[in-house]
Every structure is written in structure tokens, then in C-alpha cells.
Amino acid sequence: MKSEIAKLIAKEVGLGISEIENLIEIPPKDEMGDFAFPCFGLAKIEKKSPLMIAENLVKKLRKKLPKEISNIDSNGAYVNFFVDKKMLAESVLSRVKKRNFGNNNLGKGKTRLVEYSQPNTHKAFHVGHIRGTCLGESLARIFRASGEKVTQMNYSGDTGMHIAKWIWCYKKYHSKEKLKNDESWIAGIYVDAIKKLGDSDKLQKEVDVINQKIEDKSDKEINDLWKKTRAASIKSWDKIYSELGAHFDISLFESEFEGVARAEVSKLLKKGVAKKDDAIFMDLKEYNLGVWVLLRRDGTVLYSAKDIVLALKKFKEFENDKYLITIGNEQKMHFEQLVKTLELMGLKKEASRYEVLPFGMIRFPEGKMSSRTGKNVLYSDFSKEVSAIARKGLEKRGYEGKDINERALKIAVASMKYSMLKQDPKRTMIFDPRTEVSFEGDTGPYLLYSYARASSIIRKVKSKKAVKIIDLKSSEIKLLKKIDSFPEIVENGYENLAPNLIANYCFELAQNFNEFYHSCPVMGSIEQGFRLKLVDAFRITLKNGLDLLGIETLEEM
């Protein structure tokens, strides 16, 4: 409807349809209309007061109003449009039935590679990885729903100092323990390594030797242990990604790029792009990007050099219009240094395709959660605690199904995902498990419960009645208008790389539905046929919105 109004206005003013559509507002009160067009911007073009422009525009448009618009008037500098509510209802119900309601073609013909999650082997998969994984997965779904061809990539660190520390600690203190595909056990060895190393230069030298042997593959025993523990660590991610609903088309690892990275750094040094002192580095101080070290003084390769080679591989083997990467805020400078280095290598055009979306840290209320890893909260610990709270919520509501643990996990994952996606990605967020797992308020479980409530109504109504749109109540109109705006929200989420817009919309949609549910009985009413269709339209829309967030719905709670 908003688009149709924009087309109508465009015939009378010197603005484009999309420009007008962006200006159209929803009035704060129903009596002021359903849509409002502000005329302030036209004052400069037409050299008239916005009030006069609004009045003249109403006179022109009133002569050619389409049947969907029941009335039009001016209020100050605004042109207010009143939509025919019966036609709105018919239009919304008809559109929602169409497959993939909410999808658009803004990205048709475009391609994008999305790199996200990026856990390191031999270390914890922590809550920061959860946020990055949820963000990347949701963006990939939004891009695809907007017509783009999307490739999803995971790039993980499987070499470097942290691996050497792990292997050093395992060989020296845990060699009798059987290797496990268990995130908690793997992370525990690394934490123990940090504790035992402390500030000891002597012990660190032992680790340095192992790091060198891992890189040059000169020690068969260490190399075999690296391969086995690497495989165990990667295997431990399968369960996590399955629970989080994350999918990757390509998985790459740092170890694949070490030799090539060393050769590439050598080229940069010869060309004078890189410099050498004790180490080999990029001097980016004149760009306010400091010094970016590529190779250590002992010749071992840092992940900065490997990121250069990864970028070259992307440009050559995975040709895309855009290369999006989600990373923690603390890595923002690193990727700014990478992009600048690529530009200095003569790859300015390719580097311009890089999109970096940093996300903030996750914090917890004091005393709410503890972690055996000190600073980082393990995914396994986190999901268990949140699932336990979700299970108590189900039990409190009398749920006794055999699948209660599976159901509690789905609710827990919805809690995690929604809480991490409803906020601006760049902001640091506080996750309070008891608040976020509540079945009331701005939470994932509230959305699941609203969907399940709608599904329950659909199941209970056996007899089918004719769809009669009689006298629409305010809560029905409000819900219809909210459903009608879903495609626009998806477009905004796509254009602004903002899943939070879709998450916030889903909450408002659920609120509107629950207002309707309490004020407009469905079963046995004269309007049963129409209201049942409206409930189903809400259900479809919410499911589509949650799917874009990567949240799985439940038919009953």
C-alpha cells in the first residue's frame, strides 16, 4: 500500500518513487490516517510553504484516488491518506498466501560471500562466537531472501601460538588422557596451559620450539598429535552448529595458507610494500593504522599474513560483488589494516568489495554465570544453563512431554539468538539468562509462544466458515497494517545490514497479535472465517521473520 501511495504522489511532484516511499510515515494516531507524506522537502523545490504544497497536493490527488484509498486530507505540512480497511484486509490476506511473503528482489543478480563464526581449534567456542554465528547466519538468510546468491564461509585458526600452548600442555601434563571430541575438555587443556605458563620465559621457550615444529612439520610426533587434536576440535563444532542452525558452504583453515603467506610476504618485501626490522611488517602509521606485523622475528607466520593470502584466494577463486565479514569490535583495526594493505598492493578495486561488520561483546550480570575459562563463557556451559531455565519454564506451565529436554534446548537457542539479534550489532550487550528466557516481554520464548498460540487456534477450529469482513475492530486493523509492513522491514534490514530491525518487528507483530487475541474472539464469532485467516496470516509472517533470524518455531509450547 505504501508503494502504491508513493507511485500516486510521484506523478505530481519532482521526486522518485523510492525517495517518496522513504519519506512516507505512519501517523501516531489512527484518526490522523494510515499513511502521511511530509511536504517539507518539496518547499525548496517548489519555492512555496510546505502547508500550501500539502493543500495543493490534496486537491490534485483527490481527483484521481484509487479505490484502495478511502479519503485524503492535509494536516499542516502533511498529506494524510486513509486506506479502505476492507480492501486492506483483502490485500494483506491475499499477499501473505503467496510463497515467501516478505522476500524482495533488491539484491537480484548480485553475489555476496559471508564469512562468519571463525572459531579457533584447541580453544573455547565461547559466547562471542555465538553472537558472530547468529549475526552471520541471519544476514546470509536476509541477503538470500532479497534475491542475492550467497556463499557462506567459515575460516578458522588451526595453527599459531595458541595451538603450540595446547600441545605443550597436553604432552607435559595430560598425555595419559584420551583425546575427546568435547569442547569443554579441549578448552580446559588450553586454560590449564595459560595457568601453567604464567610469566615463565623458560616455559615459553619450550612452547616456541613446538610452534616452530608445527609450522615446519619437522617433528612427526608433534605433527601427528596436531592432526588428531585438530580433528577432535573441529568435530566438537558439529553439535554446536547443528543446535545453532548454522550452515557453511566453504570451510577454510589458516594452516592451508602458511607456505603461500610466507612467499607473499617475501614479494611484498622485495617490492618495498612491506618493511623489515626484527620482524617483517606493514608501516601504516601515515594512515593512522599503526604497524601491522606479518612475520615474527623467528620467521613464523602471523595470521595477518594469512589473511592477505585468504583475500587473494577470495578474489581469484570465489568471485563475488561483496565480501562481508562479521568480527568482534576488537578486530576492527586488524581488518582496516588488511584493506589498506590490499590497496597498497594495487588491489584497490578488489579491496573496496570488503565489508566489515563489527559486533560488540556480551557481558553478564555479576554472579549470574561462571566459567571455567575465566574470561570466556563456553557455549556448552552457556547452553546448559539457559536450557535448564527453559525447562523450568515449561514445567511451570505443566508441560510433561518426553521431548521436554529437546524442546527446552530449542527455546534456549531462540532466547540466545533473539537476544543477540534484537540489538544493534555494534553495541555491547548484557545477557541475563532469567530475563531472556522469560515467556513474557521482549524475548525469544515470547515470540515462540505467540506463534504456538496462533497454531493452537488453527488446530482447534474444525468447521470452515466463509470469510466475511464486516466491521473491522481497531486491533484487527492494527495487526493487518503491521503484517502489511513486513516486506518493507525486510528491505530495510537488507539495506542496513540490520537483523535487529527484523527482530524488533517480530516482537511488535507478536504484541499486536496478542492484543487482537484478547479483544477479538475467533471461535464461534460471526467473523470466525476472516479472523481465522488473519491468525494464519500472522502465523506465516512471524514464521518468515523468525526464519530470517535463524530461529526455529514450535507448534506448541
- Give the residue extent of every domain in the chain: 2-83, 113-363
**CA-CA-CA-CA torsion for 40, 45, 47, 49, nearest 10 degrees?**
-10
Distance CA 554, CA 114 (A): 28
Q: Given a cut of 90, is residue 450 above it in pLDDT?
A: yes
pLDDT of 368: 45
CB 116 within 8 A of CB 249: no
Domains 2-83 and 113-363 share a fold: no
Contacts of 49 (CB under 8 A, 6+ apart): 43
Distance CA 404, CA 81 (A): 49
Distance CA 248, CA 42 (A): 48
Average pLDDT, integer, range 115-137: 93
Q: Given a cut of 60, is residue 372 above it in pLDDT?
A: no
Average pLDDT, the chain: 92
Instruction: Decide the pairing of beta strands 362-363 and 429-430.
Output: parallel
Query: Where is average pLDDT lowest: 26-35, 266-275, 354-363?
Result: 26-35
Q: Given a cut of 50, is residue 9 above it in pLDDT?
A: yes
pLDDT of 375: 57
Instruction: Please say whether the structural domain 2-83 has been given the CATH code 3.30.1360.70.
Output: yes
Q: Given a cut of 60, is residue 373 above it in pLDDT?
A: no
pLDDT of 138: 98
Query: Which amino acid would we find at residue 104?
Result: N
Distance CA 386, CA 447 (A): 17
Q: Given a cut of 90, is residue 139 above it in pLDDT?
A: yes
Q: Tell me which CATH code domain 113-363 carries.
A: 3.40.50.620
pLDDT of 340: 98
Average pLDDT, integer, range 486-513: 97
pLDDT of 513: 98
pLDDT in tens, 390-446: 999 999 988 888 899 999 999 999 999 999 999 999 998 888 888 999 999 999 999
CB 121 within 8 A of CB 159: no
Residue that wins the pLDDT comparison between 252 and 14: 252
Contacts of 374 (CB under 8 A, 6+ apart): 191
Query: Which amino acid would we find at residue 114?
Result: V
Among 491, 547, 548, residue whose Cα is nearest residue 104: 491
Q: How distant is the alpha carbon of residue 460 from its chain centre?
A: 35
CB 81 within 8 A of CB 69: yes
Q: Given a cut of 90, is residue 362 above it in pLDDT?
A: no
pLDDT of 369: 43
